[in-house]
Amino acid sequence: MKYILSGVLYMLSYIKFSIIVLLLAAIVLLLPAPLPSFAADTSGALNSSVSDDAILTVGVNSGAVSVSAYSAVLIDARDCNILYAKNATERLPMASTTKIMTAIIAIEYGDLNETVEIPSAAVGVEGSSIYLYTGEKLTLLDLLYALLLESANDAAAAIALTIAGSEEEFSHLMNDKAAELGLSDTRFQNPHGLDAEGHFTTALDLARLSAYALKNETFAKIVSTRKTTIPLNGTEGIRLLINHNKMLRSYEGAIGVKTGYTRHSGRCLVSAAERDGLTLVAVTLNASNDWNDHRKMLDYGFSSYVSISLLGAGKYDLMVPLTGGFNEWVKCTNAEEVRVTLPKTHGVISCTVECPRFIFAPVKSGEAVGKIIYTCDGRTIGESELITTSAAESKYSQRGFWYWVKSLFGFD
């Protein structure tokens, strides 16, 4: 009897040891392991999420362009990588480029088709104006065209009063949005950009704000409009609105965005242009020759950088072994497009796929299981998550732990 008990205990000990070994092996196998690297075909298509380090390491190339502006910056609108900079993080007044934020707040908070009755507080505002009448009725969209094409300060005031009840409360919304976007060197005191203490931005913050704004279809359509008309105080007459941004008429691919000037700020300009999938945003603050500055910066950007689509969304397929499921495999694909902007002189682009050797069921559809990483010239330039394309149930989920243990030894 003693020998029988010893044998049973030995067998139980062996089974327990085997289970532990199998569990440890499973843990090791589940650790992400890079699949073989390969050089990427840069003739394909791809969009990416680019690391914060990449934003700083593309290089500011301060000697590449000579500009009249005290402060200037050129960025890639897609990921805000800095391509050129001069005093780009110094806080300065921004004049009517303020209205970029005014427009975004109006679009995001207001109803574009709402009829606005112009309050007396919005009539006779200093500076650029479309000469609104007290009690005149226009849509919020009409006011946005006046704001961004004619740089109308009275339209800015009317928008602020309609959305927030006062310019002060509207400025709070503007500052909240700046904080949300990470614009730590920007502060607004009014919706029009007239000189005020504590009203400032930097060229870099303004460029990043503009890149964000251009992703809004309504904003992008308005700032790319050369001219339009809106009603005139309920009469048969019309107001002709002409965009002050000369770049729309003089620079190939120009798509916006806003001019500005006060005696205190000097000439301020934000421009954007698009060519061959590459969208650039240029900003100058306090420039004596801003139009020429912007042509030079944009020319530099388009001649020196290229936008490369590395991998289209859902274009990479990978079958990963599935353990404990009804199927043997689960299909995975890349979650998003990977697109990068690189110097035209860039080196070889390499790709590494990180993914576990197998996955335990259950698995949810869209669950992240790995990632694709692209590198070039010694740094990461983009990556995309690998996600499952469908759910996979566990065949043991309803049968309990001991059923799973028995299945490890082939008794299921």
Paired tokens of 177: 């949005």
CB 104 within 8 A of CB 336: no
* Distance in angstroms (rounded) separating the CA atoms of residues 281 and 272: 4
**pLDDT of amino acid 325:** 86
* Distance in angstroms (rounded) separating the CA atoms of residues 245 and 238: 21
Number of Cβ within 10 Å of residue 356's Cβ equals 15
Per-residue pLDDT of 267-321, as tens digits, reads 999 999 999 999 999 999 999 999 999 999 999 999 999 999 999 999 999 999 9
Q: Give the residues of the chain that fall short of pLDDT 50.
A: 1-10, 12-17, 20-22, 24-31, 33-59
Sign of the alpha-carbon torsion through 186, 189, 191, 196: negative
* Distance in angstroms (rounded) separating the CA atoms of residues 158 and 152: 10
User: Could you tell me the CA-to-CA distances from 352 to 32, 318, 382, 383 in Å, in that order?
Assistant: 12, 13, 11, 9
Q: Where are the domains of the chain?
A: 30-47+312-408, 54-305
Half-sphere exposure (Cβ direction) of 4: Cα atoms closer than 13 Å: 1
**pLDDT of amino acid 244:** 96
* Distance in angstroms (rounded) separating the CA atoms of residues 404 and 200: 64
CB 211 within 8 A of CB 79: no
88 CB burial (10 A radius; 0-12, 13-18, 19+):
buried
CATH tag for 54-305 (out of 3.30.70.260, 3.40.710.10, 3.30.420.40, 3.20.20.70): 3.40.710.10
Catalytic residues: 96, 99, 151
**pLDDT of amino acid 399:** 56
Per-residue pLDDT of 98-152, as tens digits, reads 999 999 999 999 999 999 999 999 999 999 999 999 999 999 999 999 999 999 9
pTM to 2 decimal places: 0.80
**pLDDT of amino acid 36:** 42
DSSP string of 268-308, one letter each residue: EEEEEEEETTEEEEEEEES-SSHHHHHHHHHHHHHHHEEEE
CATH architecture of 30-47+312-408: Sandwich (2.60)
| Among the listed residues 201, 177, 10, 41, the one whose alpha carbon sits nearest the alpha carbon of residue 106 | 177
| Among the listed residues 218, 290, 303, 317, the one whose alpha carbon sits nearest the alpha carbon of residue 253 | 303
Angle of helix 153-164 versus helix 167-180 axis, rounded to 10: 90
Paired tokens of 114: 């709402």
